[in-house]
Amino acid sequence: MNRELRRLQAKEEERAKERRAAGMRPRRERVKFRQFLSEIRTELKRVAWPSRQETTTFTAVTLITAGFVTLYTFVLDLTLKQGVLKLLELR
């Protein structure tokens, strides 16, 4: 498989060099809007969606983590603020 991929990559590089030498840009074909939506729908069917319980768990973990980070930042800010104010009062 690896050897095959290398061969394909080498062929593609050769084609790209030929296109550059000829001054041609690779042309992308446009697809119709309905085909685009159809392809999106097909790809979304392949996605491994999390279950409701997994989504609830992930959401709870995210909110709890965000709460702890917010609390930590608040305490750190308050402590540093008090330290700077006391340092300035001494002078």
Q: Where are the domains of the chain?
A: 49-91
Global pTM value? 0.51
Tell me the Ramachandran region of residue 30: left when phi exceeds 0, alpha when psi lies from -120 to 50, beta otherwise: beta
Q: What is the pLDDT of residues 20-50, one digit of tens each?
A: 877 766 667 888 999 999 999 999 999 999 9
Per-residue confidence band for 53, with pLDDT thresholds at 50, 70 and 90:
very high
Instruction: Determine the residue type at 46.
Output: R
